[in-house]
Amino acid sequence: MDPSSIRAYYKKGEHQLAVRSYDWENADILEWFLNSTRMGYPNAAMWHDNESDYLMQKAMTRSRTQEERVENFKEYHTYLLQQYLWAPFYLPAKIFAVGNRLVYPKDALDRRFMGIGVLDWDLK
């Protein structure tokens, strides 16, 4: 099936299992796949849980520092896994190699090697 047909099928909520793959190095992906305001697609799990929604909002919008955000997402992720929402089938190891000329700004919040965060990097 093409992506549009799959999304339309998810939105009907008649599926029993959804196997999804993604490549994202940021905990925000949890909100994308499990936000109860987006049932069907992208929330193909049809997951709606008040505690989960609270922890998601706490992590996404109420964290005052990057460290607090990381801790809040750990709490949210731990809660989700305790509910047996999903099970990873395969978690490939990712290895990044960079030269010693690559300089990352000390005050940057984005620690990804992909996406927009790369634009903040400089070469010596």
Euclidean distance between CA atoms 1 and 6, whole angstroms: 6
Is 34 within a domain? yes
Q: Report the residue count for the chain.
A: 124
How many structural domains compose the chain? 1
Name 89's Cβ contacts closer than 8 Å, sequence gap at least 6.
Answer: 19
Q: Find the domain containing 63 and state its range.
A: 3-92
Q: What is the pLDDT of residue 98?
A: 66
Euclidean distance between CA atoms 86 and 43, whole angstroms: 12
Long-range contacts of 85-88 (CB under 8 A, 24+ apart): 85/34, 85/45, 85/47, 86/45
Is 88 within a domain? yes
Tokens of 28: 């925000």
Is 106 within a domain? no
Per-residue pLDDT of the chain (124 residues; tens, 9 = 90+): 677 887 788 788 777 777 666 666 677 778 887 888 888 888 777 888 999 999 999 999 999 999 999 999 999 989 988 886 665 555 566 656 667 777 666 776 665 555 545 555 555 6
Is 117 within a domain? no
Is 60 within a domain? yes
Q: Are 49 and 33 in contact (CB under 8 A)?
A: no
Is 97 within a domain? no
Is 10 within a domain? yes
Q: Are 79 and 52 in contact (CB under 8 A)?
A: yes
Is 21 within a domain? yes
Within 10 angstroms of residue 97's Cβ, the number of other Cβ atoms is 4
